[in-house]
Structure 1
């Protein structure tokens, strides 16, 4: 589809591959959107409201069924990608498994933040990450088991404990 095509028009092509129908739909919104599915096609089309900059008002345009289903079911994935793009652990590595590990850590932090937000709704992801970092850095900061020769205070406590 070309950019000169009117907003709201769509075109669908269906192909059969090993007995499975594959629908590819191109829809013109602000830009051309192309979606492929084995689940749903473009019909029945619905109408959606969009703001038109030239007319400076809301207009109704046709929207294929595949776009509506995508928007309903893929919101969580797009939201996760958005959060990952904003706050990411920035460690460069040539090893693919290191990058994968930190990507999984990022996803776990975002998922825990979403759960944490149910209790504290005003907490932003940035604040949560900094609070989490401070907590992890101070974890076992004052541990009594230290390397090296024990101080005289610890030796006296050990000797008194053995006497009892």
Structure 2
């Protein structure tokens, strides 16, 4: 006896094709992350989704350009991404891209408001004060300090090996 298909099933079949395709593509070549940390499987899933979406974009762009070459399979596409990431080494880039860096890193984008340069470099009434609680130095990225500039209202290191107080208040 023929039975009519419910409208709900028709809509599901119409709109769920993309989700089913994405799940199928992820299941083909799943990135193997295992561990007791809860965020690794989520990261693995997002990584797989990004790679599959980029492969689908690659296919769409090839079709739009009417490219006659044979397109890459998903597995080859994933292997090429892996190979290109594996060849990238940080040690080679550190010598080329960055100029000679100082031994201590300075904070480039401060969170706290800093005084204007006129006040900062005026060499007048910048007295270090010891406060009870330790806090992050506002000049370097390294340490906690108990020293505070009364005029600038900033915490700055004042140690023999790292004197951020002097470095902050003098022009280079």
TM-score, reference length from structure 2: 0.46
Comparing both structures, which one devotes a greater share of its residues to helix? 2
Comparing both structures, which one devotes a greater share of its residues to strand? 1
TM-score, reference length from structure 1: 0.48
